[in-house]
Each structure stands twice: as C-alpha cells, then as structure tokens.
Amino acid sequence: MELAQLAVFVRPPKSGTVKTRLAARFGPDGAAKLYRAFAEDTVALCSRVRAAGRVHLAVWSAGCDEAVSDWAERLGTSPRIQPEGDLGVRLAAAFDQGLSDYERVVIIGSDMPTLPIELIGAAFDSLERSTFMLGPAHDGGYYAIGASQRVRPSFEGVRWSSRNALEDTLKANAPRQPAMLPPWYDIDEPDDLAVLRAHLSIDSAAAPATASCMAELYRAHR
C-alpha cells in the first residue's frame, strides 16, 4: 500500500447537526453521542490500517472542534476543512488533493462503525487493477470510493442522500468500469439501528465505542 492515502470524512459531533434522522429515536443529544462513538470506532479502524501497511491518513471535516482535532492528532495528521457544496464537491476536493501526492486514494465516511479492515485492504488492492473503485452500501449509496493514476471520479448529476447515489455515480463515470467491493451497511435511518444492534449483539468488538454508546442510549430511551 505504499504511496496510498486513506481519507476519512468526519463532522464535529454537535447536537442537532449530526445524524439528525436518528434524533427521532434518541433525541439530538443522543444522536450526537452516537455519532461521536461512530467516529471513535472509525478512527480506531484507520489507526489499524496505518499499522498494517504504508498508508498515509487524511481527515476531512465539515468544521473543526476539539473532537475533530483530537481524531486527526491520533491519526498523525491535521484536519482539513471540507469546501462548501454538496458531497460531490467535497469528494472532488479530497481526490484532487490526495491524487496530487499519492498513487491511490480511498475515501470513507464515519457512519459505518463496524466496517471490517479487510474491506479497506480490498479497496486499495482493487486500485492496482482499476483506476476507479466503489464499495456499495445497502441503501443505494456507497461506503467507500477510490481512485488511482490521478484520474478522479466525476460526480456530475449525482442525487445525494438517495437510493440513486451509486447508480448516478456509475452513470457519471461511464464508460469507466469500477472495481466493486462487497456491500456493507451504513447507519443513517432509525431502521438501520436494528441491523447495527444485531451485529453488535454477536460481536461487540466490531465497534466497541458504538456498542457501549448504544447500550447506554437504549437503557435511557426504553
């Protein structure tokens, strides 16, 4: 994985500004606590990726506060502020920066706390055979996207936060054929919590910070 960069998108874990759809189940404060736990587990995953191979890390945030600064410091970097605009604008900026310095760039979010490290390895491996990679999510979006050889993906016309995001990204990049990773799940809607809770009931070590936070929140919101 030499000359590779893993970039993670985060947000300051402020009440009322993160995971707002989960506030229907836990309230805005609870949703913010849960997002902080998601990000903690994501940072731990990124640390393991760095320890496993020669991967440089980048943290792109929608804003900066003490939590974001701490996450970046633990990953040996400084937070970069995402530009104004939709997710396509922000992804394009991260790819433009990353591909100017690295042969392969993979970008993940911070809302799939149980993401296995093996899928990160598979993402970088796929970019040795392809210049474009996607990791599809069960909700019609994607949990990871990657590019190599200084050819960043296009995001023209992508309908974000919809079941069309993956399909639209494929259309925007035709005729390029991406390498496709196995699907994984992210957590956006209250219904997604059942999948996460079931997973953690079997393997709490998959996301220990999230497992602890979920147990606390469910006790408080019975």
Q: Is the model's pLDDT at 67 over the cut of 60?
A: yes
Q: What's the token pair of residue 72? A: 């970046």
Residues 172-203: tens digit of each pLDDT: 999 999 999 999 999 999 999 999 999 999 99
In the chain, % of residues over pLDDT 70? 99
The residue to which tokens 């989960």 are assigned = 22
> What CA–CA distance (Å, rounded) separates 68 from 87?
19
What CATH number is given to the structural domain containing 110?
A: 3.90.550.10
Quote the domain boundaries for residue 91: 4-220
Residue type, 51: A
> Which of the two residues, 149 and 59, has the higher pLDDT score?
59
What is the pLDDT at residue 2? 56
CA-wise closest residue to 86 among 165, 176, 7:
165
> What CA–CA distance (Å, rounded) separates 170 from 179?
11
Q: DSSP letter for 82, please.
A: P
Residues 68-87: tens digit of each pLDDT: 999 999 999 999 999 999 99
Domain count, the chain: 1
Alpha carbon separation from 82 to 11, 41, 79, 146, 158 (Å, rounded): 10, 21, 9, 18, 18
β-pair partners for 67: none
Rg, Å, the chain Cα set: 17
**Backbone angle region of 185, left / alpha / beta, with phi > 0 → left and psi within -120 to 50 → alpha:** beta
Q: What's the token pair of residue 120? A: 């990160």
Residue 1's pLDDT band, with cuts at 50, 70 and 90, is very low
Residues 16-35: tens digit of each pLDDT: 999 999 999 999 999 999 99
Residue 222's pLDDT band, with cuts at 50, 70 and 90, is confident
> What CA–CA distance (Å, rounded) separates 16 from 171?
34
Average pLDDT over residues 9-17: 97
